[in-house]
Amino acid sequence: MAKLKVQLHLHTKEDPLDSIRLNAKQVIDLAARQNYDVLAITCHNVLIFNEDLKEYAEQKRILLIPGIEKTVERKHVVIINATVESQKINSFEDLKEYRKNHPECLILAPHPYYPGEISLGKKLALHHELFDAVEYSWFHSVRIDLPNKKAVKSAEKYKLPVLATSDCHLHKYMDYAYSYVTADKNTKSVLKAIKENKIHIVSHNLRFRQMLYIYAKMSILELIKKITLR
């Protein structure tokens, strides 16, 4: 087994909801330069994984795992090792059925306590049995980290591992948060190791000024995307 550098929550230009500069292959190139071993591209509500991307990642010595960030009853849920059927999930009952039929997947609770309607909040407690891990979000500073502290506390309560990810929309910050997972370099081994909490998380503090800049830029990009889709 090896200590693998893993990034399992990020977005690319192919995302239908967000305005993002780099496409999937460009993100794979960036991940290779940053020495990632395992990657999952998790666009909103659509599975963009295909054999061409998988082979391209392999050429860069990266294991690419299919992923999706699905909106479930207005809340975001990340599914790793997802299938095309995951695109049809709309309710937590659907998610429960999907998990039963696809035990090989890993279901991550992303940014559960960050402000906004899309975060799970109390839904994590109501449906904690559906999740395999809780995300430690990259968006924090030394003083502003209460949402992550709440996430860690919930993970401890429900005996779930904590996985650091970048939830990357601005790829300049992709390497600010990631996880090391002790596993063999294949999907089954990596996901099994995460579920068994063989994880070491890395998450660097942002400066408050950076956080303001990131929030403003992402808000502008979101507005541009909405105007474009009209």
pLDDT digits (tens, 9 = 90+) for 206-215: 988 888 888 8
Higher pLDDT, 226 or 42: 42
The mean predicted confidence, pLDDT, of the chain is 94
Higher pLDDT, 2 or 170: 2
- Mean pLDDT across 61-88: 98
pLDDT at 195 exceeding the cut of 80 = yes
pLDDT score recorded for residue 136: 98
pLDDT at 228 exceeding the cut of 70 = no
pLDDT at 223 exceeding the cut of 80 = no
Higher pLDDT, 216 or 98: 98
Distance CA 82, CA 79 (A): 6
Give, for 96, the enclosing helix (H) or strand (E). helix 92-101
Beta strands in the chain (DSSP E): 2-7, 38-41, 63-72, 75-80, 106-109, 133-136, 162-164, 177-183, 199-203
pLDDT tens digit sequence for 137-190: 999 999 999 999 999 999 999 999 999 999 988 888 999 999 999 999 999 999
pLDDT interval class at 220 (50, 70, 90): confident
Distance CA 140, CA 65 (A): 26
Backbone torsion region of residue 118, taken as left when φ is above 0, otherwise alpha when ψ lies between -120 and 50, otherwise beta: alpha
Higher pLDDT, 17 or 10: 10
Query: Where is average pLDDT lowest: 45-49, 187-191, 203-207, 226-230?
Result: 226-230
pLDDT score recorded for residue 1: 83
CB-CB neighbours of 168 under 10 Å = 26
pLDDT interval class at 230 (50, 70, 90): low
Instruction: Specify whether the CB–CB gap between 201 and 164 falls below 8 A.
Output: yes
* Separation of CA 79 from chain center: 8
pLDDT score recorded for residue 177: 97
pLDDT tens digit sequence for 132-144: 999 999 999 999 9
CA 125, 109, 158: angle at the middle one, nearest 5?
Answer: 45
pLDDT at 225 exceeding the cut of 90 = no
Distance CA 107, CA 119 (A): 15
Question: The tokens of 197 are what?
Answer: 């909490």
- Mean pLDDT across 78-98: 98
Distance CA 123, CA 104 (A): 23
